[in-house]
Amino acid sequence: MNHRRTIVGTLLAAALMAAGCTGSGGTSKGADAKAPDDPSKVTGTITVLTPRTDIVQDGTMQKYADEFKKTYPKVTVKFDAITDYEAEVKIRMNTENYGDVLMIPAVIKKNDYPKFFASLGTAAERGKKYRFTDFTTVDGKVYGQTTNGGMPGFLYNKRVWREAGITDWPTTPDEFLTALKAIKSRTDAIPYYTNFKAGWPLTSWTYVNGSVHCDTQATAKMAEGNPWAEGADLRVADRLLYDIVDQGLAEKDPTTTNWEESKPRLAKGEIATQWLGTWAIIQFQQAAEKAGADPDDIGFMPFPAQVDGTFCAVVAPDYNQAVNVHSPHKEAARAWIDWFTDKSTYADDNLAMSPLKDAPLPEVLKPYEDAGVKLIEVDDSKGGLVKEIDNASEVGIYGPEYRQDLVDIARGAKDGDLGDFLDGLGERWTEAEKSLGS
């Protein structure tokens, strides 16, 4: 099992903060986890809950802990790596025993953060130094700190695209479809791979939202209107996915796709393109090395849309680390979060964007800098409401089912019309808005 089934860049995790069970282990009092003044006086053994089973098992997390101990010699860090992180931690949070540091589970409502987590400080102060602070801000206080940032995009095999005669990134959905047709006619590669069977990769299409119109208020607009109105970002995204499948530019039988196999297949050039996110780049490069392919063939491109001749890409946080409000070692827990964010090489090691505002982009995103891609952060203040509307509408923009239906309609496995299908989603969504009074 791949750990990214629980961290789809929060690109899945941040977005999944659906209304739901919030447990009963929280406190309504709230608490602060203050940064320690003197590292030599901080003591205690802390447990860090993490979904990164892979880098706990291979010793990478222990290497970080060993480095941390050089600064905080009296603190011992233990890791509890959990495969089915969301389900397991949700259960633990019905008690007070859910580690000292943990990644905030998606199921916890944002407004409930003060019940479960200790504050890391004010949004005004932390926002000067760190990206994405609004994603965990409640009443002016910040309750989580992301480990890294990422963005959605197309992973593609640069060699295959060159062999098909395509050297520039498509700037419109029609240009993108034309490129895939060239790949189909001029190479042996599958132009686009849906990863339909795994399901969760299809949710990445939701994160087109904001890119098409370079709109930092894209989330707020979802809370106030129809995400599938003509020209709206999600309609543009879903129309492109439909057209890819409808025009025979995806794998022949989506029900037989295989996520793990898709990585070496794209690396070797058997698959040309997948819509995923920056988090996947390192996995595909590693797959290339194992398969004897060239890791430099793995490219990353933005969604084919421009505003005034400029591509836009939405950057968002991955999982956010937080301090358990019940932890007896809040100072040590806070020390770990601060050190991990400011001093560890975690973001670099994962070819990811640092949460530090003054840090350079990772080398793998240099083509974005060269192309002048504009990176935007979407205002998440209405994010909680969007998730409530999604739940009430039962559309499921953060789940795979409706896009699996879309793919099935496109390939003729289900009856339906694209326009009617997207209009139906919009009707359900706007009815839910009305029912919630938004």
The pLDDT of residue 149 is above 80: yes
The pLDDT of residue 20 is above 90: no
Instruction: Note the pLDDT of residue 86.
Output: 86
Interval 342-358 mean pLDDT: 93
The pLDDT of residue 197 is above 80: yes
Range of lowest pLDDT (58-62, 95-99, 387-391, 426-430): 387-391
pLDDT in tens, 233-264: 999 999 999 999 999 999 999 999 999 999 99
Interval 83-97 mean pLDDT: 93
| Whole-prediction pTM | 0.84
Instruction: Note the pLDDT of residue 438.
Output: 59
**Average pLDDT of the residues of the chain:** 91
Q: Which of 111, 9, 108, 385 is nearest to 222 (CA)?
A: 385
The pLDDT of residue 410 is above 70: yes
Is residue 204 within 8 Å of residue 8, measured between CB atoms? yes
* Domains defined for the chain, CATH in brackets: 3-149+318-359 (3.40.190.10), 152-314+367-433 (3.40.190.10)
The pLDDT of residue 415 is above 90: yes
What confidence category does residue 364 fall into, taking pLDDT thresholds of 50, 70 and 90? confident
Instruction: Note the pLDDT of residue 84.
Output: 86
Enumerate residues 6+ apart whose C-beta is below 8 A from 12. Answer: 6, 106, 200, 203, 204, 398
pLDDT in tens, 321-343: 999 999 999 999 999 999 999 99
The pLDDT of residue 16 is above 70: no
The 3-class secondary structure across the chain, one letter per residue, is CCHHHCCCCCCCCCCCCCCCCCCCCCCCCCCECCCCCCHHHCCEEEEEEECCHHHHHCCHHHHHHHHHHHHCCCEEEEEEECCCHHHHHHHHCCCCCCCCEEECCCCCCHHHHHHHEEECEEHHHHCCCECCHHHHEECCEECCEECCEECEEEEEEHHHHHHCCCCCCCCCHHHHHHHHHHHHHHCCCECECCCCCCCHHHHHHHHHCCCCCCCCCHHHHHHHCCCCCCCCHHHHHHHHHHHHHHCCCECCCHHHCCHHHHHHHHHHCCECEEEEEHHHHHHHHHHHHHCCCCHHHEEEECCCCEECCEEEEECEECCEEEEECCCCCHHHHHHHHHHHHHCCCHHHHCCCECCECCCCCCHHHHHHHHHCCEEECCCCCCHHHHHHHHHHHCCCCCCCHHHHHHHHHHCCCCCCCHHHHHHHHHHHHHHHHHHHCC
